[in-house]
A and B are shown apart, each in its own frame.
Chain A
Amino acid sequence: MGKVMIINASPRAPKSNSKQYAQLFSQYCHWDTEYFEVKKSNHLTLCQMIGNYSDIVFVFPLYADSIPVTLLNFLKTLEENVPCEKPTISVVINCGFIEPYQNDIAVKMLQLFAGKNGYPFGSVFKIGSGEAILTTPFRIFLKVKMKKFADSIEKQRYNSFQVTMPIPKKMFIKASTVYWENYGKKNGISKEQMQTMQIE
Chain B
Amino acid sequence: MNLVLSDRTLDSFNQQHPTVQWIDLSRLNIANCVGCFGCWTKTPGKCVIRDDAVKVYPQIAASDRILYVSKIKYGGYDTVMKTMLERSIPVQQAFIRLLHGETHHVQRKVVPKAAVIIGYGDISPEEQELFCALVERNAKNMSFESYRIIFVAENEVEAAVSKEVAAWEK
Chain B residues with CB under 8 Å of A72's CB are 73-74, 76, 78-79, 82
Interface size on A, residues (CB 8 A): 49
Q: Nearest Cβ distance between residue B4 and chain A, in whole angstroms?
A: 20
Q: Nearest Cβ distance between residue A121 and chain B, in whole angstroms?
A: 13
Contacting residue for B97 out of A12, A173, A199, CB 8 A: A173
Contacting residue for B74 out of A112, A169, A186, A200, CB 8 A: A112
Q: Nearest Cβ distance between residue A8 and chain B, in whole angstroms?
A: 12
The answer on a CB contact under 8 Å between B79 and A70 is: no
Q: B33-51, CB under 8 A of A: which get 1 and which 0?
A: 1111100111011100000
Contacting residue for A64 out of B44, B45, B58, B141, CB 8 A: B141
Interface size on B, residues (CB 8 A): 53
Chain B residues with CB under 8 Å of A144's CB are none
The answer on a CB contact under 8 Å between A180 and B94 is: yes
Closest to B36 in A: A12
B119 at the interface (CB under 8 A from A): no
The answer on a CB contact under 8 Å between B108 and A180 is: no
Name the interface residues of A27-68: CB closer than 8 Å to any CB of B: 61, 63-68
Closest to B46 in A: A200
The answer on a CB contact under 8 Å between A63 and B45 is: no
Stretch at the interface among A86-94, A102-110, A146-154, A155-163: A102-110
Residues of B contacting A: mostly: mixed
Assembly CA distance A119 to B104 (angstroms): 33
The answer on a CB contact under 8 Å between B75 and A199 is: no
A81 at the interface (CB under 8 A from B): no
Using A11-B32, A173-B103, A194-B93 as known contacts, say yes or no to A64 and B86 having CB atoms under 8 A apart: yes
Chain B residues with CB under 8 Å of A200's CB are 45-46, 54, 57-58, 90
The answer on a CB contact under 8 Å between B45 and A172 is: no
Chain A residues with CB under 8 Å of B95's CB are 176-177, 180, 194-195
Assembly CA distance A11 to B35 (angstroms): 6
Q: Nearest Cβ distance between residue B106 and chain A, in whole angstroms?
A: 8
Chain A residues with CB under 8 Å of B104's CB are 97
The answer on a CB contact under 8 Å between B82 and A199 is: no
Chain B residues with CB under 8 Å of A172's CB are 96, 103
Closest to A63 in B: B86
Q: Nearest Cβ distance between residue A64 and chain B, in whole angstroms?
A: 5
Q: Nearest Cβ distance between residue A9 and chain B, in whole angstroms?
A: 11
Assembly CA distance A116 to B85 (angstroms): 25
Q: Which of A65, A67, A184, A194 has the most CB of B within 10 A?
A: A65
Chain B residues with CB under 8 Å of A194's CB are 40-41, 44, 93-95
The answer on a CB contact under 8 Å between B35 and A16 is: yes
Using A69-B86, A109-B130, A112-B130 as known contacts, say yes or no to A173 and B141 having CB atoms under 8 A apart: no
Name the interface residues of B7-56: CB closer than 8 Å to any CB of A: 32-37, 40-42, 44-46, 54
Contacting residue for A199 out of B41, B91, B137, B138, CB 8 A: B91
Can you show 12 pairs from A to B with CB atoms below 8 A apart?
A: A11-B33, A64-B82, A64-B88, A64-B89, A64-B141, A97-B103, A99-B103, A105-B76, A105-B130, A169-B103, A193-B44, A198-B45
Q: Which residues of A contact B (CB under 8 A)?
A: 10-12, 16, 61, 63-70, 72-73, 75-76, 96-99, 102, 104-105, 108-109, 112-113, 116, 169-170, 172-173, 176-177, 180, 183-184, 186-187, 189, 193-200
